[in-house]
A and B are shown apart, each in its own frame.
Chain A
Protein backbone atom coordinates (compact mmCIF):
# COMPACT_ATOMS: atom_id res chain seq x y z
CA UNK A 1 0.00 0.00 0.00
CA UNK A 2 1.26 3.44 -0.88
CA UNK A 3 0.43 6.86 0.50
CA UNK A 4 -0.33 9.75 -1.80
CA UNK A 5 2.83 11.53 -2.92
CA UNK A 6 4.21 14.14 -0.53
CA UNK A 7 7.16 16.47 -0.14
CA UNK A 8 9.71 15.10 2.29
CA UNK A 9 12.04 17.28 4.31
CA UNK A 10 14.38 16.16 7.07
CA UNK A 11 15.83 19.27 8.70
CA UNK A 12 18.75 19.11 11.10
CA UNK A 13 17.68 22.01 13.32
CA UNK A 14 14.51 22.71 15.28
CA UNK A 15 14.41 26.22 13.82
CA UNK A 16 14.07 24.83 10.30
CA UNK A 17 11.21 22.59 11.46
CA UNK A 18 9.43 25.55 13.08
CA UNK A 19 9.96 27.64 9.91
CA UNK A 20 8.36 24.97 7.74
CA UNK A 21 5.43 24.63 10.15
CA UNK A 22 5.00 28.42 10.19
CA UNK A 23 5.08 28.65 6.40
CA UNK A 24 3.14 25.56 5.35
CA UNK A 25 0.96 25.09 8.45
CA UNK A 26 -1.98 22.77 7.98
CA UNK A 27 -0.64 20.74 5.07
CA UNK A 28 2.30 19.50 7.13
CA UNK A 29 2.56 16.45 9.32
CA UNK A 30 5.50 15.92 11.64
CA UNK A 31 7.10 12.48 11.39
CA UNK A 32 8.66 11.16 14.59
CA UNK A 33 8.30 7.40 15.09
CA UNK A 34 5.70 7.14 12.34
CA UNK A 35 4.16 3.98 13.78
CA UNK A 36 0.66 5.45 13.69
CA UNK A 37 1.13 8.11 11.01
CA UNK A 38 2.65 5.89 8.31
CA UNK A 39 -0.10 3.22 8.59
CA UNK A 40 -2.70 6.00 8.35
CA UNK A 41 -0.95 7.43 5.29
CA UNK A 42 -0.80 4.00 3.67
CA UNK A 43 -4.54 3.61 4.21
CA UNK A 44 -4.90 7.18 2.88
CA UNK A 45 -6.72 8.29 5.99
CA UNK A 46 -4.00 10.90 6.20
CA UNK A 47 -2.53 12.60 3.12
CA UNK A 48 -0.20 15.39 4.21
CA UNK A 49 1.29 17.55 1.46
CA UNK A 50 4.56 17.77 3.34
CA UNK A 51 6.16 15.37 5.77
CA UNK A 52 8.69 16.93 8.13
CA UNK A 53 10.92 14.18 9.48
CA UNK A 54 12.30 15.36 12.84
CA UNK A 55 14.47 12.28 13.38
CA UNK A 56 17.62 14.15 12.29
CA UNK A 57 17.29 16.71 15.10
CA UNK A 58 19.76 16.25 17.91
CA UNK A 59 19.17 16.83 21.62
CA UNK A 60 15.51 15.89 21.49
CA UNK A 61 15.56 12.31 22.79
CA UNK A 62 16.06 12.73 26.54
CA UNK A 63 14.07 11.31 29.41
CA UNK A 64 15.15 13.25 32.48
CA UNK A 65 14.24 15.46 35.43
CA UNK A 66 13.77 19.15 34.67
CA UNK A 67 12.24 21.80 36.96
CA UNK A 68 10.27 19.41 39.14
CA UNK A 69 9.01 17.34 36.22
CA UNK A 70 9.84 14.04 34.61
CA UNK A 71 10.34 15.08 31.01
CA UNK A 72 10.04 12.88 27.92
CA UNK A 73 11.27 14.61 24.79
CA UNK A 74 9.79 14.23 21.33
CA UNK A 75 12.24 11.63 20.00
CA UNK A 76 12.35 9.36 23.06
CA UNK A 77 11.05 5.98 21.87
CA UNK A 78 8.65 3.74 23.79
CA UNK A 79 11.57 1.33 24.20
CA UNK A 80 13.61 4.14 25.78
CA UNK A 81 10.78 4.63 28.31
CA UNK A 82 10.77 0.87 29.00
CA UNK A 83 14.53 0.92 29.67
CA UNK A 84 14.67 4.26 31.50
CA UNK A 85 16.01 4.14 35.07
CA UNK A 86 14.60 7.64 35.60
CA UNK A 87 11.08 6.51 34.72
CA UNK A 88 11.44 3.39 36.89
CA UNK A 89 12.46 5.54 39.84
CA UNK A 90 10.06 8.42 39.27
CA UNK A 91 6.69 7.34 37.90
CA UNK A 92 5.06 3.97 38.51
CA UNK A 93 2.14 4.46 36.13
CA UNK A 94 4.47 5.19 33.20
CA UNK A 95 6.85 2.37 34.12
CA UNK A 96 3.95 -0.05 34.34
CA UNK A 97 2.37 1.05 31.03
CA UNK A 98 5.51 1.23 28.89
CA UNK A 99 6.03 -2.53 28.29
CA UNK A 100 2.40 -2.83 27.14
CA UNK A 101 2.60 -0.21 24.40
CA UNK A 102 2.18 -1.91 21.00
CA UNK A 103 4.85 -4.59 20.38
CA UNK A 104 8.65 -4.63 20.72
CA UNK A 105 9.27 -3.64 17.09
CA UNK A 106 6.84 -0.73 17.17
CA UNK A 107 8.27 0.36 20.54
CA UNK A 108 11.69 0.68 18.91
CA UNK A 109 10.45 3.51 16.67
CA UNK A 110 7.23 4.91 18.12
CA UNK A 111 7.36 7.81 20.58
CA UNK A 112 5.38 8.78 23.66
CA UNK A 113 5.02 12.39 22.45
CA UNK A 114 3.82 11.20 19.05
CA UNK A 115 1.27 8.90 20.64
CA UNK A 116 -0.14 11.73 22.74
CA UNK A 117 -0.18 14.14 19.78
CA UNK A 118 -1.85 11.55 17.54
CA UNK A 119 -4.54 10.99 20.18
CA UNK A 120 -5.91 7.72 18.98
CA UNK A 121 -8.82 7.21 21.38
CA UNK A 122 -7.52 3.71 22.05
CA UNK A 123 -3.97 4.85 22.79
CA UNK A 124 -2.56 3.90 26.17
CA UNK A 125 -0.25 6.85 26.88
CA UNK A 126 -2.98 9.49 26.85
CA UNK A 127 -4.73 7.73 29.76
CA UNK A 128 -1.51 7.52 31.73
CA UNK A 129 -0.89 11.21 31.09
CA UNK A 130 -4.44 12.15 32.16
CA UNK A 131 -4.04 10.18 35.40
CA UNK A 132 -0.68 11.86 36.11
CA UNK A 133 -1.76 15.43 35.21
CA UNK A 134 0.84 15.74 32.46
CA UNK A 135 1.62 18.84 30.45
CA UNK A 136 2.45 19.03 26.76
CA UNK A 137 5.12 21.52 25.71
CA UNK A 138 4.74 22.87 22.19
CA UNK A 139 6.85 25.37 20.28
CA UNK A 140 6.17 27.55 17.29
CA UNK A 141 8.28 30.09 15.43
CA UNK A 142 6.05 33.06 16.14
CA UNK A 143 4.45 31.97 19.41
CA UNK A 144 7.45 30.61 21.25
CA UNK A 145 6.86 27.94 23.87
CA UNK A 146 3.38 27.00 25.09
CA UNK A 147 2.67 24.68 28.02
CA UNK A 148 -0.69 22.92 27.68
CA UNK A 149 -2.29 20.86 30.48
CA UNK A 150 -3.08 17.41 29.12
CA UNK A 151 -6.82 17.71 29.77
CA UNK A 152 -6.89 20.82 27.56
CA UNK A 153 -4.61 19.26 24.96
CA UNK A 154 -6.76 16.19 24.27
CA UNK A 155 -9.88 17.63 22.66
CA UNK A 156 -11.55 14.62 21.06
CA UNK A 157 -10.55 11.50 19.16
CA UNK A 158 -7.62 12.29 16.82
CA UNK A 159 -8.10 15.93 17.76
CA UNK A 160 -5.88 18.03 20.01
CA UNK A 161 -5.48 21.73 20.73
CA UNK A 162 -2.04 21.70 19.06
CA UNK A 163 -1.90 24.44 16.45
CA UNK A 164 -0.79 23.59 12.88
CA UNK A 165 2.30 25.79 13.37
CA UNK A 166 3.33 24.06 16.61
CA UNK A 167 5.76 21.21 17.27
CA UNK A 168 5.36 19.05 20.39
CA UNK A 169 8.82 19.08 21.95
CA UNK A 170 8.08 17.26 25.20
CA UNK A 171 5.47 15.72 27.47
CA UNK A 172 6.15 16.03 31.19
CA UNK A 173 4.59 14.85 34.43
CA UNK A 174 4.98 16.46 37.86
CA UNK A 175 7.28 14.68 40.30
CA UNK A 176 5.66 13.48 43.51
CA UNK A 177 7.05 12.96 47.02
CA UNK A 178 5.00 10.01 48.20
CA UNK A 179 2.89 8.31 45.60
CA UNK A 180 2.43 5.42 43.25
CA UNK A 181 0.67 4.47 40.04
CA UNK A 182 -0.25 1.63 37.77
CA UNK A 183 -1.56 0.71 34.32
CA UNK A 184 -3.81 -2.29 33.81
CA UNK A 185 -4.33 -3.42 30.22
CA UNK A 186 -6.37 -6.25 28.79
CA UNK A 187 -5.47 -7.09 25.20
CA UNK A 188 -6.22 -10.11 23.02
CA UNK A 189 -2.64 -10.33 21.85
CA UNK A 190 0.53 -8.28 22.02
CA UNK A 191 0.20 -5.31 19.70
CA UNK A 192 -3.60 -5.22 19.70
CA UNK A 193 -5.48 -2.22 20.96
CA UNK A 194 -6.58 -2.45 24.57
CA UNK A 195 -9.89 -4.15 25.18
CA UNK A 196 -9.84 -2.11 28.36
CA UNK A 197 -7.04 -0.04 29.89
CA UNK A 198 -7.06 1.72 33.27
CA UNK A 199 -4.39 4.16 34.46
CA UNK A 200 -4.29 5.03 38.16
CA UNK A 201 -2.13 7.37 40.21
CA UNK A 202 -2.25 8.13 43.96
CA UNK A 203 -0.35 10.54 46.18
CA UNK A 204 -0.40 10.38 49.97
CA UNK A 205 0.07 13.09 52.60
CA UNK A 206 2.11 12.65 55.79
CA UNK A 207 -0.90 11.19 57.61
CA UNK A 208 -1.33 8.58 54.88
CA UNK A 209 -4.50 10.09 53.41
CA UNK A 210 -4.92 10.50 49.67
CA UNK A 211 -3.84 14.00 48.65
CA UNK A 212 -4.06 13.55 44.88
CA UNK A 213 -5.64 10.90 42.70
CA UNK A 214 -5.75 10.19 38.97
CA UNK A 215 -7.91 7.66 37.14
CA UNK A 216 -8.22 7.49 33.35
CA UNK A 217 -9.67 4.85 31.04
CA UNK A 218 -8.66 3.55 27.59
CA UNK A 219 -10.89 2.07 24.86
CA UNK A 220 -14.17 2.35 26.76
CA UNK A 221 -15.33 5.80 25.63
CA UNK A 222 -15.12 7.94 22.50
CA UNK A 223 -11.78 9.20 23.80
CA UNK A 224 -9.46 8.57 26.74
CA UNK A 225 -11.62 9.35 29.74
CA UNK A 226 -10.41 11.03 32.93
CA UNK A 227 -12.87 10.05 35.65
CA UNK A 228 -12.88 13.21 37.75
CA UNK A 229 -15.77 12.09 39.99
CA UNK A 230 -13.90 8.94 40.99
CA UNK A 231 -10.74 10.96 41.64
CA UNK A 232 -12.64 13.39 43.86
CA UNK A 233 -14.19 10.51 45.81
CA UNK A 234 -10.68 9.43 46.78
CA UNK A 235 -9.03 12.74 47.66
CA UNK A 236 -9.01 13.64 51.37
CA UNK A 237 -9.80 10.11 52.49
CA UNK A 238 -7.74 7.34 54.02
CA UNK A 239 -7.22 4.55 51.49
CA UNK A 240 -9.37 1.47 52.10
CA UNK A 241 -10.82 -1.48 50.22
CA UNK A 242 -14.29 0.08 50.48
CA UNK A 243 -13.08 3.44 49.19
CA UNK A 244 -11.37 1.84 46.18
CA UNK A 245 -14.52 -0.20 45.46
CA UNK A 246 -16.55 3.01 45.46
CA UNK A 247 -14.12 4.75 43.07
CA UNK A 248 -14.20 1.66 40.83
CA UNK A 249 -18.00 1.71 40.81
CA UNK A 250 -17.96 5.38 39.74
CA UNK A 251 -15.43 4.66 36.98
CA UNK A 252 -17.51 1.75 35.67
CA UNK A 253 -20.60 3.96 35.63
CA UNK A 254 -18.75 6.78 33.82
CA UNK A 255 -17.44 4.73 30.89
CA UNK A 256 -19.49 4.04 27.76
CA UNK A 257 -17.96 1.02 26.01
CA UNK A 258 -19.27 -0.44 22.77
CA UNK A 259 -19.78 -4.13 22.07
CA UNK A 260 -17.36 -5.38 19.44
CA UNK A 261 -15.07 -8.27 18.57
CA UNK A 262 -13.07 -7.60 21.76
CA UNK A 263 -16.03 -8.07 24.10
CA UNK A 264 -19.51 -6.93 25.04
CA UNK A 265 -20.13 -3.52 26.56
CA UNK A 266 -21.29 -5.15 29.77
CA UNK A 267 -18.09 -7.19 30.02
CA UNK A 268 -15.84 -4.21 29.35
CA UNK A 269 -17.67 -2.13 31.95
CA UNK A 270 -17.06 -4.80 34.55
CA UNK A 271 -13.39 -5.03 33.57
CA UNK A 272 -13.16 -1.26 34.18
CA UNK A 273 -14.49 -1.84 37.69
CA UNK A 274 -12.11 -4.72 38.42
CA UNK A 275 -9.08 -2.97 36.87
CA UNK A 276 -9.76 0.27 38.74
CA UNK A 277 -9.80 -1.60 42.05
CA UNK A 278 -6.68 -3.56 41.14
CA UNK A 279 -4.91 -0.48 39.85
CA UNK A 280 -5.67 1.56 42.95
CA UNK A 281 -4.53 -1.31 45.17
CA UNK A 282 -1.28 -1.60 43.22
CA UNK A 283 -0.83 2.19 43.25
CA UNK A 284 -1.24 2.27 47.03
CA UNK A 285 1.25 -0.57 47.47
CA UNK A 286 3.73 1.35 45.32
CA UNK A 287 3.12 4.55 47.29
CA UNK A 288 3.64 2.80 50.62
CA UNK A 289 6.57 0.69 49.35
Chain B
Protein backbone atom coordinates (compact mmCIF):
# COMPACT_ATOMS: atom_id res chain seq x y z
CA UNK B 1 0.00 0.00 0.00
CA UNK B 2 1.17 3.50 -0.76
CA UNK B 3 0.91 5.74 2.28
CA UNK B 4 1.94 9.28 3.10
CA UNK B 5 3.08 10.15 6.59
CA UNK B 6 4.17 13.58 7.71
CA UNK B 7 7.35 12.96 9.68
CA UNK B 8 8.86 15.91 11.51
CA UNK B 9 6.97 18.26 9.21
CA UNK B 10 7.90 16.60 5.90
CA UNK B 11 5.54 14.40 3.90
CA UNK B 12 6.99 11.00 3.09
CA UNK B 13 5.31 8.66 0.63
CA UNK B 14 6.29 5.02 0.97
CA UNK B 15 5.00 1.73 -0.36
CA UNK B 16 4.58 -0.71 2.51
CA UNK B 17 3.01 -4.02 3.36
CA UNK B 18 0.14 -3.51 5.84
CA UNK B 19 1.97 -5.62 8.42
CA UNK B 20 4.97 -3.28 8.51
CA UNK B 21 5.28 -1.56 11.85
CA UNK B 22 5.67 2.20 12.07
CA UNK B 23 8.99 1.88 13.90
CA UNK B 24 10.46 -0.10 11.02
CA UNK B 25 9.28 2.35 8.39
CA UNK B 26 10.89 5.15 10.38
CA UNK B 27 14.17 3.30 10.86
CA UNK B 28 14.67 1.30 7.68
CA UNK B 29 12.73 3.23 5.06
CA UNK B 30 13.24 6.79 6.24
CA UNK B 31 16.61 6.32 7.94
CA UNK B 32 15.43 7.89 11.18
CA UNK B 33 17.26 5.61 13.59
CA UNK B 34 16.74 7.83 16.63
CA UNK B 35 13.56 5.84 17.32
CA UNK B 36 14.80 2.66 18.95
CA UNK B 37 13.50 -0.87 19.18
CA UNK B 38 13.76 -2.41 22.63
CA UNK B 39 11.45 -5.17 23.77
CA UNK B 40 9.29 -5.27 20.62
CA UNK B 41 6.45 -6.46 22.91
CA UNK B 42 4.75 -3.20 23.99
CA UNK B 43 6.52 -3.14 27.34
CA UNK B 44 9.54 -0.84 27.32
CA UNK B 45 8.48 2.34 25.50
CA UNK B 46 11.84 3.07 23.80
CA UNK B 47 10.06 3.18 20.42
CA UNK B 48 7.88 6.11 21.54
CA UNK B 49 6.97 8.66 18.88
CA UNK B 50 4.36 11.41 18.86
CA UNK B 51 1.34 10.59 16.68
CA UNK B 52 -0.54 13.84 16.07
CA UNK B 53 1.19 15.08 19.22
CA UNK B 54 0.35 12.10 21.43
CA UNK B 55 3.04 9.70 22.69
CA UNK B 56 2.49 6.15 21.41
CA UNK B 57 4.57 3.00 21.01
CA UNK B 58 5.58 2.75 17.35
CA UNK B 59 6.21 -1.00 17.67
CA UNK B 60 2.50 -1.44 18.37
CA UNK B 61 1.14 0.53 15.43
CA UNK B 62 1.12 -0.46 11.78
CA UNK B 63 2.57 2.20 9.51
CA UNK B 64 -0.64 2.14 7.44
CA UNK B 65 -2.48 3.41 10.51
CA UNK B 66 -0.37 6.56 10.36
CA UNK B 67 -1.35 7.28 6.73
CA UNK B 68 -2.27 10.96 6.48
CA UNK B 69 -1.21 11.65 10.02
CA UNK B 70 1.69 13.54 11.61
CA UNK B 71 4.54 11.74 13.36
CA UNK B 72 7.26 13.42 15.36
CA UNK B 73 10.47 11.60 16.28
CA UNK B 74 13.46 12.68 18.32
CA UNK B 75 15.02 14.03 15.11
CA UNK B 76 12.18 16.55 14.98
CA UNK B 77 12.74 17.99 18.45
CA UNK B 78 15.38 20.60 17.65
CA UNK B 79 14.06 23.99 16.68
CA UNK B 80 15.77 26.14 14.02
CA UNK B 81 19.00 24.27 14.56
CA UNK B 82 18.96 24.78 18.33
CA UNK B 83 18.39 22.05 20.87
CA UNK B 84 14.84 21.82 22.20
CA UNK B 85 14.77 22.83 25.90
CA UNK B 86 14.20 19.18 26.81
CA UNK B 87 17.33 18.16 24.88
CA UNK B 88 19.38 20.93 26.48
CA UNK B 89 18.12 19.90 29.92
CA UNK B 90 19.01 16.22 29.39
CA UNK B 91 22.50 17.35 28.42
CA UNK B 92 22.81 19.74 31.36
CA UNK B 93 21.33 17.45 34.03
CA UNK B 94 23.05 14.27 32.77
CA UNK B 95 19.64 12.76 32.00
CA UNK B 96 21.16 9.80 30.20
CA UNK B 97 23.64 7.03 30.73
CA UNK B 98 23.66 4.58 27.81
CA UNK B 99 21.19 6.73 25.88
CA UNK B 100 18.96 3.94 24.63
CA UNK B 101 15.76 5.18 26.30
CA UNK B 102 16.64 8.86 25.86
CA UNK B 103 14.75 9.73 22.64
CA UNK B 104 11.55 8.32 24.11
CA UNK B 105 12.07 9.98 27.48
CA UNK B 106 12.64 13.34 25.80
CA UNK B 107 9.54 13.04 23.60
CA UNK B 108 7.35 12.09 26.58
CA UNK B 109 8.95 14.89 28.61
CA UNK B 110 8.36 17.45 25.86
CA UNK B 111 4.64 16.63 25.80
CA UNK B 112 4.39 16.70 29.59
CA UNK B 113 5.86 20.19 29.94
CA UNK B 114 3.56 21.51 27.23
CA UNK B 115 0.50 20.12 29.01
CA UNK B 116 1.75 20.83 32.52
CA UNK B 117 4.30 23.67 32.62
CA UNK B 118 5.01 23.15 36.34
CA UNK B 119 5.13 19.38 36.86
CA UNK B 120 5.89 17.93 40.29
CA UNK B 121 8.27 14.99 40.67
CA UNK B 122 5.22 12.73 40.97
CA UNK B 123 3.73 14.18 37.77
CA UNK B 124 6.99 13.49 35.94
CA UNK B 125 7.37 9.96 37.30
CA UNK B 126 3.76 9.21 36.37
CA UNK B 127 4.28 10.58 32.84
CA UNK B 128 7.35 8.40 32.18
CA UNK B 129 5.88 5.31 33.86
CA UNK B 130 5.49 3.61 30.46
CA UNK B 131 9.17 4.11 29.63
CA UNK B 132 11.88 1.87 31.01
CA UNK B 133 15.47 2.97 31.62
CA UNK B 134 17.52 -0.17 32.17
CA UNK B 135 20.46 1.88 33.46
CA UNK B 136 17.86 2.80 36.13
CA UNK B 137 18.91 6.41 35.69
CA UNK B 138 15.51 7.73 36.61
CA UNK B 139 16.66 10.31 39.15
CA UNK B 140 18.52 12.36 36.56
CA UNK B 141 15.81 11.82 33.95
CA UNK B 142 13.26 13.28 36.36
CA UNK B 143 15.63 16.15 37.18
CA UNK B 144 16.19 16.84 33.47
CA UNK B 145 12.48 17.04 32.70
CA UNK B 146 11.98 19.32 35.70
CA UNK B 147 14.90 21.50 34.53
CA UNK B 148 13.37 21.71 31.04
CA UNK B 149 10.08 22.90 32.53
CA UNK B 150 11.91 25.55 34.56
CA UNK B 151 13.91 26.67 31.51
CA UNK B 152 10.77 27.09 29.43
CA UNK B 153 8.99 28.92 32.27
CA UNK B 154 11.95 31.28 32.76
CA UNK B 155 12.15 32.13 29.06
CA UNK B 156 8.45 32.90 28.60
Q: Which residues of A contact B (CB under 8 A)?
A: 1-8, 10, 31, 34-35, 38-39, 41-43, 51, 53, 55, 102-106, 108-109, 190-191
Contact of A10 with B129 at beta-carbon distance under 8 Å, contacts A2-B19, A39-B42, A108-B56 already known: no
30 A-B pairs (CB sep. < 8 Å): A2-B21, A5-B17, A6-B19, A8-B18, A8-B64, A10-B65, A10-B67, A31-B65, A34-B62, A35-B60, A38-B42, A38-B61, A39-B41, A39-B42, A42-B41, A43-B41, A51-B18, A53-B65, A55-B65, A102-B130, A103-B130, A104-B126, A105-B45, A105-B108, A106-B130, A108-B54, A109-B56, A109-B57, A190-B129, A191-B129
Known: A2-B21, A105-B48. 14 other contacts (CB 8 A): A1-B40, A10-B65, A34-B65, A53-B64, A103-B45, A104-B108, A104-B130, A105-B57, A105-B131, A106-B60, A106-B130, A109-B60, A191-B43, A191-B129
Closest CB of chain B to A36's CB: distance in Å? 9
| Cα distance, A108 to B111, chains bound together (Å) | 13
Nearest A residue to B130, CB-CB: A103
| Cα distance, A103 to B21, chains bound together (Å) | 20
Main secondary structure of the interface of A (DSSP, over half): loop
Nearest B residue to A105, CB-CB: B130
Closest CB of chain A to B36's CB: distance in Å? 14
Residue of A39, A102, A108 touching B55 (CB-CB under 8 A):
A108
| Cα distance, A39 to B21, chains bound together (Å) | 11
| Cα distance, A34 to B25, chains bound together (Å) | 18
| Cα distance, A102 to B20, chains bound together (Å) | 24
Contact B1 A8 (CB under 8 A): yes
| Cα distance, A51 to B20, chains bound together (Å) | 13
Whether, in the assembled complex, B147 has its beta carbon less than 8 Å from a beta carbon of chain A, the answer is: no
Contact B55 A10 (CB under 8 A): no
Contact A38 B54 (CB under 8 A): no
Measured between beta carbons, the chain A residues less than 8 angstroms from B93 are: none
Contacts of B54-76 to chain A: CB distance below 8 A = 54-57, 60-62, 64-65, 67
Whether, in the assembled complex, B152 has its beta carbon less than 8 Å from a beta carbon of chain A, the answer is: no
| Cα distance, A51 to B1, chains bound together (Å) | 14
Closest CB of chain B to A7's CB: distance in Å? 7
| Cα distance, A287 to B48, chains bound together (Å) | 40
| Cα distance, A95 to B21, chains bound together (Å) | 32
Whether, in the assembled complex, B127 has its beta carbon less than 8 Å from a beta carbon of chain A, the answer is: yes
| Cα distance, A199 to B127, chains bound together (Å) | 25
Nearest B residue to A5, CB-CB: B19
Closest CB of chain A to B41's CB: distance in Å? 6
Residue of A2, A8, A106, A108 touching B42 (CB-CB under 8 A):
A106
Measured between beta carbons, the chain A residues less than 8 angstroms from B64 are: 8, 10, 53
Nearest B residue to A33, CB-CB: B60
Measured between beta carbons, the chain A residues less than 8 angstroms from B65 are: 10, 31, 34, 53, 55
| Cα distance, A5 to B127, chains bound together (Å) | 35
Contact of A105 with B56 at beta-carbon distance under 8 Å, contacts A8-B62, A38-B61, A39-B41 already known: yes
